């Protein structure tokens, strides 16, 4: 299982999802709701419904559920009998509390790409 906003989908996200799927045979992705993004000080370009539809179209993803709070992870891991929790290593250590419930894996981020970079590159391109 993994969590994220997954806005303006890019190869960094795909690399994470592909590697996460290698840890099991069923990958659940909890996508941040628009309201939860506000708690992360993030304003996604795509709505939750759009981001959900995009993630559901990815071959590595088996199920998409909403992420509404920081506190839901333990319950999610228990309710979905999750074996492995996977996140990019920008979160290294942040979710170690889950280790009593499942394996916790932090994977190296894909260097050189991010939703923020896409937005700033596009702004530069359009504004000269
Ligand atoms: N990611 C990556 N390489 C990148 C960009 C992102 O591996 N170049 C990974 C992140 O580490 C994360 C996932 O892709 O595991 C989704 O990234 P975001 O949508 O930015 O997720 P974030 O806002 O970090 O949300 O409760 C956890 C939070 O919801 C995580």
pLDDT at 90: 97
The ligand 1 atom at the shortest distance from the C-alpha of residue 111 is 8
The ligand 1 atom at the shortest distance from the C-alpha of residue 30 is 29
CA distance 62 to 21: 9
Residue 88 Cα to ligand 1 midpoint, Å, equals 6
pTM: 0.97
pLDDT at 56: 98
pLDDT at 70: 97
Mean pLDDT (whole number) for 107-122: 96
Q: Quickly state the pLDDT bin for 12 (edges 50, 70, 90).
A: very high
CB 3 less than 6 A from any atom of ligand 1? yes
User: What burial class does residue 86 get, using C-beta atoms within 10 Å of its C-beta: 0-12 exposed, 13-18 middle, 19+ buried?
Assistant: buried
Residues in contact with 79: Cβ distance below 8 Å, sequence separation at least 6, in sequence order: none
């Amino acid at each position: 299982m993994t969590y994220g906003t997954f806005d303006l989908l890019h190869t960094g996200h795909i690399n994470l999802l592909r590697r996460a799927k290698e840890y099991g045979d069923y990958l659940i992705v909890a996508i941040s709701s628009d309201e939860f993004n506000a708690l992360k000080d993030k304003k996604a370009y795509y709505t939750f419904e759009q981001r959900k539809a995009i993630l559901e179209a990815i071959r590595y993803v088996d199920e998409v559920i909403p992420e509404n709070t920081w506190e839901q992870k333990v319950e999610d891991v228990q309710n979905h009998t999750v074996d492995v929790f996977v996140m990019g290593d920008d979160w290294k250590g942040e979710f170690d509390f889950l280790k009593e419930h499942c394996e916790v894996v932090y994977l190296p981020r894909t260097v050189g790409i991010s939703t923020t970079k896409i937005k700033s590159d596009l702004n530069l391109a359009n504004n000269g």
